[in-house]
């Protein structure tokens, strides 16, 4: 059996958005151009050295029916929530938050010298887990394995497995892979992804070419861009002269109806209406 290298289905240029209390972000999933890539509902990239772009933060707000995954490359964000967690996410840390039936939380960037840089991904929950108890996995940077493979490619393994090394994020319904991949100049990298799973790459440093070898005529994808792959068994990438760093994320599609309203993602409109009703009458947070 020959393994199929996934072709590039789409290349998305992130759009500038204002989110939270006025934070400037680059959004590439959850836009008019790309609503979602099942099971991924939203992808935001924040990166700025101007505190005015991020200091207003994300004051207390609810979520239901999804998981939010925050990966800080550089910077500091204080968080606290309605189930008693609080702490700081800083350089290289990950927070994988399963909102389940409901959580209220705030995410407030702290002013730093230099760049505030990171990502937030939303992963959908299957209908049977949308009303599960909320859960956090806070992963400090030093708990994230760093794997160096041939040709000097370096990978931080946040979720999934590479060369027998597993990432610390566990028991997520979408069976995700979440890798931060640094590829040296003019070097290739490939990674198996289960056939049938959605796969995306977000290039945030340098540029490279994705897809099968014969697609060398393909244009190089330069940061910041989101690549959405077609189906197949593995992804293949080749960095250009400056090298390339990208996130590689995959997950199992749910193939369920999506009813979304801001921070709530359910299966039906009536579940959304019920959620808004519960927020209004104070029964949204269920112990
Ligand atoms: Fe949030």
Distance 197 CA to ligand 1 centre (A): 25
Backbone angles phi, psi at 120, to 5 degrees: -130, 130
Distance 186 CA to ligand 1 centre (A): 38
Distance 99 CA to ligand 1 centre (A): 9
Q: Are 144 and 167 in contact (CB under 8 A)?
A: yes
Distance 52 CA to ligand 1 centre (A): 20
Phi-psi region of 28 (alpha: psi -120 to 50; beta: other; left: phi over 0): alpha
pLDDT, position 216: 62
pLDDT, position 214: 58
Taking the C-alpha atoms of residue 99 and residue 242, their distance in angstroms, rounded to an integer, is 39
pLDDT, position 208: 96
149 vs 181, 209, 240, 284, CA distance in Å? Answer: 11, 19, 18, 47
pLDDT, position 215: 59
Cis peptide before 224 (omega within 30 of 0): yes
- Residue ranges of domains in the chain, CATH in brackets: 8-281 (2.60.120.10)
pLDDT, position 213: 73
> What are 265-272's contacts with CB under 8 Å, separation 24+?
265/41, 265/64, 265/65, 265/66, 265/122, 265/124, 265/125, 266/64, 266/65, 266/130, 267/127, 267/130, 271/65, 271/130
Beta strands in 132-220 (DSSP E): 135-139, 146-148, 154-159, 161-162, 165-166, 177-183, 188-192, 198-210
Distance 59 CA to ligand 1 centre (A): 9
Taking the C-alpha atoms of residue 223 and residue 147, their distance in angstroms, rounded to an integer, is 23
Taking the C-alpha atoms of residue 201 and residue 258, their distance in angstroms, rounded to an integer, is 23
* Helix runs in the chain, H state only: 269-281
Q: Are 180 and 172 in contact (CB under 8 A)?
A: no
What the block records as the tokens of 100 is 């389940």
The DSSP letter of residue 278 is H
Q: Which residue ranges of the chain lie beneath pLDDT 50?
A: none
Distance 30 CA to ligand 1 centre (A): 15
Taking the C-alpha atoms of residue 250 and residue 229, their distance in angstroms, rounded to an integer, is 10
pLDDT, position 286: 78
DSSP 9-55: EEEE--EEEEETTTEEEEEEESSSS---BTTEEEEEEEEES-GGGTT
Distance 69 CA to ligand 1 centre (A): 9
Distance 263 CA to ligand 1 centre (A): 7
Q: Are 96 and 103 in contact (CB under 8 A)?
A: no
Based on C-alpha coordinates, what's the Rg of the chain? 19
What pLDDT, in 10s, does the model give residues 79-134?
999 888 899 999 999 999 999 999 999 999 999 899 999 999 999 999 999 999 99
pLDDT, position 211: 93
């Amino acid at each position: 059996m020959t393994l199929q290298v996934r072709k590039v289905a789409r290349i998305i240029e992130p759009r500038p958005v204002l989110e939270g209390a006025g934070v400037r972000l680059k959004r590439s999933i959850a836009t008019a151009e790309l609503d979602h890539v099942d099971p991924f509902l939203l992808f935001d990239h924040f990166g700025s050295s101007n505190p005015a772009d991020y200091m207003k933060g994300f004051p207390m707000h609810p979520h239901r029916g999804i998981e939010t995954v925050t990966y800080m490359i550089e910077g500091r964000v204080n968080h606290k929530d309605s189930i008693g967690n609080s702490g700081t996410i800083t350089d290289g840390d990950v927070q994988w938050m399963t909102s389940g039936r409901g959580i209220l939380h705030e995410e407030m960037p702290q002013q730093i010298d230099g760049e505030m840089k990171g990502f937030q991904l939303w992963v959908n929950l299957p209908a049977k887990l949308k009303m599960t108890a909320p859960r956090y996995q806070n992963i400090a940077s030093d708990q994230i394995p760093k794997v160096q493979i041939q040709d000097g490619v370096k990978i931080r393994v946040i979720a999934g497995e590479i060369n027998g090394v597993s990432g610390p994020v566990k028991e997520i319904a979408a069976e995700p892979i979440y890798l931060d991949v640094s590829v040296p100049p003019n070097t290739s990298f490939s990674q198996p992804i289960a056939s049938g799973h959605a796969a995306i790459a977000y290039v945030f440093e340098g540029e490279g070419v994705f897809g099968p070898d014969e697609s060398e005529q393909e244009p190089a994808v330069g940061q910041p861009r989101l690549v959405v792959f077609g189906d197949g068994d593995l992804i293949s990438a080749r960095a250009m002269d400056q090298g390339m760093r990208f996130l590689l994320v995959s997950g199992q599609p749910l193939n369920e109806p999506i009813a979304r309203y801001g921070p709530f993602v359910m299966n039906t409109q009536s579940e959304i209406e019920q959620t808004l009703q519960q927020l209004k009458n104070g029964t949204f947070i269920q112990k």
